[in-house]
C-alpha cells in the first residue's frame, strides 16, 4: 500500500509540474503573439505614412511640372508676340520687342526646363510632361526608396503569423484544461486526462515550432 501511495504521489508531482510548464508556455506564446501583432500594426502604420509621403511628393512634382509647362506656354506666347512686334515698323513696338527679348524671355526660360532643354519636347513639338515628372522623381531618391507595398506585405505576414500563434495558444489552453482535470480526477480518468493533455501539448508545441521556423525562413510575403 505505501508503494502505491508513493507512486501516486510521484504522478501528482508530474501533473503539477506539467501544469506549470503548460501555463508558462501559454504565457510565453501569448506574449509572442502580442509582440507579433504589435509589429504588424507598426508595419501597417509605416506603410500608411510612406504612402502619404509618396503621394504628397508626387502631387508636388506634378504641380511643379504643370507650373513649368505654364511658363513654357507663356514663353512661347511671348516669343510669338516678339516676332510680331519685331516685324512692325512702329518704333515703339520695336522697342517693346527689345524689352521682351532682353528681359521677359530670359526670365521665363529660367523658370522652365521645357524651354531650355530640348529633350522635354516631343517630335511634334508638344511638351513631354511624363519625362519631366520622371526626372523630378529621380531627384528625390529618399522618397523613391520608400516602399509602402513592402510595409503592407510585412503587416499581412505578421498578422498571418499572429493567427497561427493564436491557434497554438488555443491548443495550449486545451492542453492545460486536460492536465488540470488530471489533477482532480482519480484512477484511469486521471491517467487518460493526463495523456490527452500531454498529446495536445506536444502537438501544439510542434505546431508553434513549425510556425516560427516557417516564418523565420520564408521570404517576406511568402506565407499567407
Domain boundaries, the chain: 2-217
Best CA proximity match to 121, nearest among 80, 77, 81, 76: 76
Give me the pLDDT at residue 53, please.
Answer: 87
> pLDDT higher for 46 or 218?
46
Give me the pLDDT at residue 82, please.
Answer: 79
**DSSP string of 132-186, one letter each residue:** HHHHHHHT-HHHHT--HHHHHHHHHHHHHHHHHHHHHHHHHHHHHHHHHHHHH--
For residue 7, what are the CA distances in angstroms to 4, 10, 12, 190, 210? Answer: 5, 5, 9, 14, 36
Mean pLDDT, range 96-108, rounded to an integer: 79
Give me the pLDDT at residue 110, please.
Answer: 84
User: 61-97: per-residue pLDDT in tens?
Assistant: 899 999 999 999 888 888 888 777 777 777 777 777 7
Mean pLDDT, range 133-143, rounded to an integer: 81
pLDDT band at 1 (very low <50, low <70, confident <90, very high): very low
User: 159-211: per-residue pLDDT in tens?
Assistant: 999 999 999 999 999 999 999 999 888 888 989 999 999 999 999 999 999 99
Amino acid at each position: 500500500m505505501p508503494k502505491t501511495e508513493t507512486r501516486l504521489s510521484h504522478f501528482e508531482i508530474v501533473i503539477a509540474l506539467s501544469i506549470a510548464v503548460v501555463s508558462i508556455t501559454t504565457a510565453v506564446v501569448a506574449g509572442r503573439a502580442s509582440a507579433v501583432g504589435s509589429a504588424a500594426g507598426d508595419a501597417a502604420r509605416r506603410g500608411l505614412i510612406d504612402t502619404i509621403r509618396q503621394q504628397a511628393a508626387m502631387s508636388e512634382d506634378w504641380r511643379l511640372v504643370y507650373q513649368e509647362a505654364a511658363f513654357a506656354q507663356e514663353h512661347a506666347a511671348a516669343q510669338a508676340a516678339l516676332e510680331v512686334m519685331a516685324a512692325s515698323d512702329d518704333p515703339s513696338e520695336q522697342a517693346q520687342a527689345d524689352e521682351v527679348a532682353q528681359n521677359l524671355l530670359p526670365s521665363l526660360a529660367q523658370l522652365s526646363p521645357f524651354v531650355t532643354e530640348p529633350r522635354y519636347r516631343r517630335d511634334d513639338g508638344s511638351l513631354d510632361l511624363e519625362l519631366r515628372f520622371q526626372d523630378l522623381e529621380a531627384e528625390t531618391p529618399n522618397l523613391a526608396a520608400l516602399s509602402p507595398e513592402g510595409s503592407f506585405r510585412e503587416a499581412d505576414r505578421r498578422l498571418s503569423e499572429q493567427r497561427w500563434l493564436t491557434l497554438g495558444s488555443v491548443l495550449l489552453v486545451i492542453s492545460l484544461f486536460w492536465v488540470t482535470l488530471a489533477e482532480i480526477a482519480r484512477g484511469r480518468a486521471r491517467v487518460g486526462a493526463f495523456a490527452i493533455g500531454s498529446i495536445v501539448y506536444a502537438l501544439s508545441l510542434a505546431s508553434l515550432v513549425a510556425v516560427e521556423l516557417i516564418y523565420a525562413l520564408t521570404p517576406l510575403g511568402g506565407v499567407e
